[in-house]
Amino acid sequence: MAIDNPQPKGSPFINGPRLLDRHRAMAQIGATANGGVNRQALTPEDTEGRRLLLQWATARGYTASIDPIGNLFIRRPGVRSSLSPVMTGSHLDSQPTGGKFDGVFGVLAGLEVLETLDDHNVATARPVELVVWMNEEGSRFAPVTMGSAVAAGAVPLERVLATQDTKGMTVSEALAQQISQLPPLESRPLGAQGFAYIEAHIEQGPVLEGARCDIGVVSAIQGLHLYQVEVLGFAAHAGTTPSKHRKDALVAANALIARIRSEVADPLDVLRFTVGRFEVAPGSPHVVPGKVTFSIDLRHPDPEHLLRTGDRILEICSGEIEHCSISAKALLRSSPVLFDERLVSVVLNVAESRGFAHMSMVSGATHDAKYMADRTPTAMIFVPSEKGISHNELEHTEDEDLCAGTQILCDALLVAATMEL
């Protein structure tokens, strides 16, 4: 670890103990018995996390504002406040059995950069802005990266506001409920756009640890499709209905998943195929299942391969299987995204100057940076995840790696603040 190597000219050292204390405080909110967090989007826990962040930010005099989809912006003014900001950010929401670092790291690293600049009286021409994106995880309300997608204009606000959770509550209702629990915030219009956006995140996979690298210089994010499949059978009495009269939606769904898996199998193991949600109705032990709904999360770095595979899945998920009818729809078809080459080089150069072992990589997970990249030169910084574990309560990143990634974020944002991109 080389945190005390010569710093890029003019870039101050971050305050590691403060950063780590804040991680510990944030990890208390929605803490689970197994050491993770459950802070799903637009729940009281998510709001409590935002309140704590706002408390830290307003104590330093930063201004906070919120857009119509609930993205939160914290701004440190620049000398020339009319200039577009250099931005950073991530998310505070989690999966139901999420880890303490996914998203949180990027938010707290961003706040740490703002405060470091103040501690060292560093004035930047451009404002530096931290964003907390609404519902990155897409767990309670699907799909993922909801707030950044709306901010980028990739998805209409009205459609997202009408999205329901499994209990029938809409994003619009949950948003109104949760915003009322925050301190009063200035409203700002949709359309987050900056001069540059750099997001710090844990890797969530095993690559950096395996390569013994401290820093991942992320050049791209692989594509992600999300499908919802419905298998319709006929609910019947479990004790009286003979096999030949059954239309068992669960039996059919199992056969369907096995068929899809074997047809899309990738000998190179680059394609990622996951059925993460599986709902059986009516869900009684004594009723032959009448309906099954399940999700397919599909990812690949090659846009054509991803589209071809997605189309094939839609083809397979039509017609009938095991006497049950099948239908499917795409909830998200997001292509791979390449980051801005010059900004990626900035990250690479500052990692090099600090003497960190670094490597270039493509992100397997998706991030809000994907939508920012549509409108703003964007890059990402990764730090290692122990054993590659993420979306799991055991997710862990070493303190020194959190500090290293935050230092690189600080250095890179400062360079970006003085660049002509």
Annotated binding site for Zn(2+): 91, 102, 137, 201, 391
User: Of 11 and 295, which has the nearer Cβ to ligand GLV?
Assistant: 295
User: Of 62 and 141, which has the nearer Cβ to ligand GLV?
Assistant: 141
CA angle 134, 140, 144 (to 5 degrees): 55
395 binds, among ligand GLV, Mn ion, none (CB under 5 to 8 A by kind): none
336 binds, among ligand GLV, Mn ion, none (CB under 5 to 8 A by kind): none
CA distances from 74 to 44, 250, 325 (A): 20, 48, 50
**Strand (E) or helix (H) holding 228:** strand 223-232
CB atoms within 10 A of CB 230: 18
Q: In angstroms, what is the minimal distance from the CB of 40 to ligand GLV?
A: 12
User: Of 118 and 302, which has the nearer Cβ to ligand GLV?
Assistant: 302
Interface mask toward ligand GLV for 109-128; x: CB under 6 A: --------------------
User: Of 43 and 366, which has the nearer Cβ to ligand GLV?
Assistant: 366
Helix (H, G, I), strand (E, B) or coil at 268: coil
Helix (H, G, I), strand (E, B) or coil at 266: coil
Interface mask toward ligand GLV for 347-366; x: CB under 6 A: ------------------xx
Amino acid at 315: E
How far apart are alpha carbons 106 and 199 in whole angstroms? 6
User: Of 144 and 218, which has the nearer Cβ to ligand GLV?
Assistant: 144
56-64, 80-88, 136-144, 155-163 -> range binding ligand GLV (CB under 6 A): 136-144
Query: Which tokens is 13 given?
Result: 């050292």
Q: In angstroms, what is the minimal distance from the CB of 276 to ligand GLV?
A: 9
Interface mask toward Mn ion for 73-112; x: CB under 5 A: -----------------------------xx---------
Any contact of residue 137 with ligand GLV (CB under 6 A)?
yes
How far apart are alpha carbons 274 and 35 in whole angstroms? 25
Any contact of residue 144 with ligand GLV (CB under 6 A)?
yes
Amino acid at 320: E
Main-chain phi, psi angles of 369, to 5 degrees: -55, -25
Q: In angstroms, what is the minimal distance from the CB of 145 to ligand GLV?
A: 7
Main-chain phi, psi angles of 216, to 5 degrees: -100, 125
User: Of 54 and 383, which has the nearer Cβ to ligand GLV?
Assistant: 383
Helix (H, G, I), strand (E, B) or coil at 143: coil
Any contact of residue 408 with ligand GLV (CB under 6 A)?
no
DSSP letters for 135-200: -SS-SSSSSSSHHHHHHTTSS-HHHHHT-B-TTS-BHHHHHHHHHTTSPP-EE--S----SEEEEE
341: phi > 0 → left, psi -120 to 50 → alpha, else beta; which?
alpha
Q: Which residues bind ligand GLV (CB under 6 A)?
A: 136-137, 144, 365-366
Q: Which residues bind Mn ion (CB under 5 A)?
A: 102-103
